[in-house]
Amino acid sequence: MTEIQWHQRLHWRGAITFLLLLIAVEIPFWMLAWSLEVEDPERAMARALGLATVGALATIVLHTIAASIYMRRRMDATRRVLLGSVAGERLLNRVPDEISLLVDEVGDRIHEMRASMVRLQQERGRLRALLEGMEEAVLMLDDAERVLVANTVAEKLLHLSKNYVGGRLSAVCDVPRLQAVVSEVLWAHEPSALDIDFMSKGEVLHVAVTAYPIMSGENATGVVIVMHDLTQLRRLERVRRDFVANVSHELRTPIATIRSAAETLSLANLELDPELREFLPTIERNADRMGTLVEDLLVLSRLEAAGEEISLHDVSLSAVFAGIVDQCDPFARERGVELIMDVEEDLPRAYAEEGALTQILQNLIENGIKYTPSGGSVTVTAHRKGAKRLRLTITDTGPGIGAEHLPRIFERFYRVDVGRSRDIGGTGLGLAIVKHLVRKLKGKIEVESEPDHGTSFTLDLRAYRPEKAS
């Protein structure tokens, strides 16, 4: 409504009000003036006041009745407008006033709310379609661990009871480990990722769980859980691991027989053609290589076995380095490579397992010696990394590794240079074994290398702290 229309409305209502007051007040005084001419002045005055009072009361009553009827009609029209009635809109638009303005404002807010509700419903539909289209199970809970949202995959995986929405997780789902994860994330305000196992219909399920807190300021208002069922993958990995272990175990005997037969023929004073005798070293060399490959496969299968953990304790690095030097230094001198040990004085003891740590370092150092040309060097450094960690570095001056190979060098049977690796005698499993051993020690290993600039392996281990170990 424009300002001119507003003022016009005020002038019209003022005129009506003035006319009513004029009728209520002026008429009695006209009658008073007429009475003064024909009657006693006192009686005329009393009559005039009475008529004025009656007129005023009648005016008020009529105005109240008219206003009540008008307001009732306007409120009915307003109610119909709020309910979406077109007839109500026509009635309100017929005589615009303050109620119409209020209804217009409320109507605008209602239209905005309806549009917002439509958008929210659309977003909810998209979110539901997204959740239902995921292969992972998704679960959302509030800060009281009540279930708010769960997709179909989560319902099937956790076998949620009926009417689970709004129920506590402990009441609708019988997976105590998952409940512990939710409580931990709500308390710590930090995401958590781990694998859990639980029984479901007589079957053990292996599930990878990732939980994220929903933060509002500094408070956690809920948790979002994403679960991926790894049961089939774990089953396939177990079948593959068992197959490799069984085949490797069965190959031990024939390989040992071949090696023994070749050694016997070499040592026996048998009259063999010179050409046949030349094959004996080849047979021995390849039998030894196959034996080493089988042993590495068995070690790797054992490390990958689910549930097998290494017992960690305090380990003296000085003793480990002394044993490695005794084993690797003769090999280094034979190949013309200098082995340098740079160990920090008063180095703390490591929280590890001596056999596993020795195998890791020996594997990395021997690899460095094998791939470093004569005249080069392999340097082993050890120093503190803060109060809780130890850092060991094995650096060689070999040919280096291209950047495209670095992400895959810890894969089994992966070789940067296949021909060179076979000539040296590698099995392609050494770094895969190193990776699994480092994981068992709760450590971390990284590699840096550039072609023609050597290779550096960095191993981070935990320092031994008696209060934590106990």
Q: How far apart, in whole angstroms, are the C-alpha atoms of residue 25 and residue 108? A: 44
Q: Phi and psi at residue 220, in whole multiples of 5°? A: -90, 120
pTM to 2 decimal places: 0.54
Tell me how far CA of residue 132 lies from CA of 181, 225, 438, in angstroms: 24, 15, 39
Hey, what are 250's tokens?
A: 């069965």
Does 111 or 145 have the greater pLDDT score? 145
Q: How far apart, in whole angstroms, are the C-alpha atoms of residue 406 and residue 449? A: 8
Is the per-residue pLDDT at 272 higher than 80?
no
Is the per-residue pLDDT at 395 higher than 70?
yes
- Among 11-15, 16-20, 67-71, 77-81, name the most confident range: 67-71
pLDDT digits 0-9 by tens, 2-35: 444 444 444 445 456 556 655 655 565 555 555 5
Q: What percent of the chain has pLDDT over 90?
A: 3
Q: Are 207 and 199 in contact (CB under 8 A)?
A: no
> Of 392, 417, 393, which Cα lies nearest the Cα of 404?
417
pLDDT digits 0-9 by tens, 197-218: 888 877 888 888 999 998 888 8
Is the per-residue pLDDT at 435 higher than 50?
yes
Supply the pLDDT for residue 150: 87
> What is the mean predicted confidence (pLDDT) over 451-463?
88
23 contact partners, CB below 8 Å, separation of at least 6: 55, 59
pLDDT digits 0-9 by tens, 304-344: 765 556 788 888 888 888 888 888 888 888 889 998 888 88
> What is the mean predicted confidence (pLDDT) over 401-428?
71
For 263, how many CA atoms within 13 A lie in the half-sphere containing its CB?
9
> Among positive and negative, which fits the CA dihedral 326, 331, 333, 336?
negative
Q: Rounded mean pLDDT of the chain? A: 77
- CA 424 to chain CA centroid, Å, is 44
Model confidence band, residue 393 (pLDDT cutoffs 50, 70, 90): very high
Q: How far apart are the first and last CA of the chain?
A: 81
Model confidence band, residue 301 (pLDDT cutoffs 50, 70, 90): confident
Hey, what are 210's tokens?
A: 């990732």
Q: Which residues of 409-436 are buried (b: 16+ CB within 10 A; e: fewer)?
A: bbebebbbeeeebeeeebbbbbbbbbbb
> What is the mean predicted confidence (pLDDT) over 402-409?
84
Is the per-residue pLDDT at 397 higher than 80?
yes
> What is the mean predicted confidence (pLDDT) over 131-139?
81
Q: Are 302 and 280 in contact (CB under 8 A)?
A: no
- Among 13-27, 69-83, 230-244, 349-363, name the most confident range: 349-363
pLDDT digits 0-9 by tens, 165-202: 888 888 888 888 888 888 888 888 888 888 888 888 77
> Other C-beta atoms within 10 Å of 325: how many?
15
Q: How far apart, in whole angstroms, are the C-alpha atoms of residue 211 and residue 113? A: 34
Mapping DSSP onto H, E and C, the string for the chain reads CCHHHHHHHHHHHHHHHHHHHHHHHHHHHHHHHHHHHHCCHHHHHHHHHHHHHHHHHHHHHHHHHHHHHHHHHHHHHHHHHHCCCHHHHHHHHHCCCHHHHHHHHHHHHHHHHHHHHHHHHHHHHHHHHHHHHCCCEEEEEECCCEEEEECHHHHHHHCCCCCCCCCEHHHHCCCHHHHHHHHHHHHHCCCEEEEEEEEECCEEEEEEEEEEEEEECCEEEEEEEEEEECHHHHHHHHHHHHHHHHHHHHHHHHHHHHHHHHHHHHHCCCCCCHHHHHHHHHHHHHHHHHHHHHHHHHHHHHHHCCCCCCCCEEECHHHHHHHHHHHHHHHHHHCCCEEEEEECCCCCCEEECHHHHHHHHHHHHHHHHHHCCCCCEEEEEEEEECCCEEEEEEEECCCCCCCCCHHHCCCCCCCCCHHHHHHHCCCCCHHHHHHHHHHHCCCEEEEEECCCCCEEEEEEEEECCHHHHC
> What is the mean predicted confidence (pLDDT) over 418-425?
55
Supply the pLDDT for residue 91: 46
Q: What percent of the chain has pLDDT over 70?
A: 73
Supply the pLDDT for residue 3: 42
